[in-house]
Amino acid sequence: MDFDRLTERAGTHQLKWSEAERHIGLKGPDALPMWVADMDFDVAPVIAEAAERIATSGIMGYFSGDGEMTEAVANWMRTRHGWFPDPAHIRHTYGLGNAIGLCLKAFCQPGDEVIIFTPVYMEFAVKIKKGQCGVKESPLRVGAEGRFELDLETLEASMTGREKVMLISSPHNPAGRVWTVAEQKALAAFCSRHDLILLCDEIHHDLVFAGERHVPMPIAAPEATERLVMLTAASKTFNIAGNRLGSVTIEDDTLRARFDSLINALDIKPNLFGVVTTQAAYSAEGAAWVDALTPYLAENARVFAEGIRQIPGLTSMPMQSTYLAWVDFSPLGMPYEEVRRRIVEDARIGPSPGPSFGTGGECAMRFNLGTQRARVEHALARLQEAFADVQ
């Protein structure tokens, strides 16, 4: 596993590389995209081999179910996360964005409100709005350790009764905050008090750094089972988002029946390559690959934080997981547009614009560190140059 090996992504129809100009105005032959949450690493050999077997078999017809893959998903949750979902409670969708959209459709009426903790993965708000629901933001605070913290007191005081669902990213995107058991219990209790369905998106749960402990919501707060919908996928962990497969696990029979009636009506059935690559990923070889990946990502986060600290006033929020670093540029006192111009036009670096993450992201940027160390160092050198005049 050589994560330092530079691989050419430009011209390979990778959204992050091919559409950076259209989406974020990043141009030039030396442009360095650091936005979409895809990594610049080749997939684990076990995944490539499984896909190759299918590609060369000549057999791509309807296949007879996804039982083995569902068992592999359940087994991964058992062995990696200590969570024992019943395979009979697991459904599959076209990735987790699709799963979120389907859940909103299944569990909300137009006009209902969905609580999200901002700044957060921009597609949460996009999906909520597309589902004709209202976005109810609960802005995160930055605590004494410089990490995001929930503010459930302020949220409690603002509740109107229109809220029907809470959608949480656990660990959090951006900055990889790993929510503690106490915080998860507080979220569960909040949902119980206000009769909310809890959509817990754990797509990033495999990318937790050594020394940190992520506890899946069903283990942290078993009392939430009757209202809990779990969203998981191999896509972020193994860099296979293009194969579009995510899993939705619902233990409660009534909630699951509501979800089932929608996915049956829409004929949501997983794609062959999604099934095959997910099953291959959730294997002993896949586990060894992730075990090598997370220390590499943690070191990228350390190198990045050190480089950002060289720009007076700036810090990269301390990360506990993921490759999605968060830098608030507001201490520089510059308008957002000036920050954006310096980063995207002068430094030719393409992070995800903070304002799209909601309240708290007004003058921030999210940098994707799921790339070779040399690219992280290169990005830092250019950023330091772009802000060299800052005292």
Ligand X SMILES: Cc1ncc(COP(=O)(O)O)c(C=O)c1O
Sites of contact with ligand X (CB under 6 A): 37, 95-97, 121, 169, 173, 201, 203, 233, 235, 241, 246
Cα 205 to Cα 370: distance, rounded to the nearest angstrom? 15
The sign of the torsion formed by the CA atoms of 85, 91, 93, 97 equals: negative
Cα 341 to Cα 361: distance, rounded to the nearest angstrom? 16
What angle (nearest 5°) sits at the alpha carbon of residue 322, between those of residues 188 and 33? Answer: 130
CB closer to ligand X out of 202 and 251:
202
* Shortest CB 236 distance to ligand X, Å: 6
* Shortest CB 202 distance to ligand X, Å: 8
* Shortest CB 342 distance to ligand X, Å: 25
CB closer to ligand X out of 357 and 387:
357
**If you write DSSP's letter for every residue of 262-292 in order, what string do you get?**
HHHHHT----HHHHHHHHHHSSHHHHHHHHH
* Shortest CB 238 distance to ligand X, Å: 11
Name the amino acid, one letter, at 323. Y
CB closer to ligand X out of 116 and 314:
116
* Shortest CB 99 distance to ligand X, Å: 7
Helix axes 123-130, 95-107, angle to 10 degrees: 40
CB closer to ligand X out of 140 and 386:
140
* Shortest CB 173 distance to ligand X, Å: 4
CB closer to ligand X out of 241 and 349:
241
The set of residues, in sequence order, having a beta carbon less than 8 Å from that of 138 and lying 6+ positions away, is 115, 116, 117, 118, 150, 151, 152, 154, 155
* Shortest CB 368 distance to ligand X, Å: 10
* Tokens at 303, concatenated: 């190198």
Q: How is the chain split among helix, strand and coil, in percent rounded to 5?
A: 45, 15, 40
Q: If residue 138 lies in a helix (H) or strand (E), which one and from where to where?
A: strand 134-139
The set of residues, in sequence order, having a beta carbon less than 8 Å from that of 348 and lying 6+ positions away, is 26, 27, 28, 30, 31, 32, 382
CB closer to ligand X out of 167 and 379:
167
CB closer to ligand X out of 81 and 342:
81
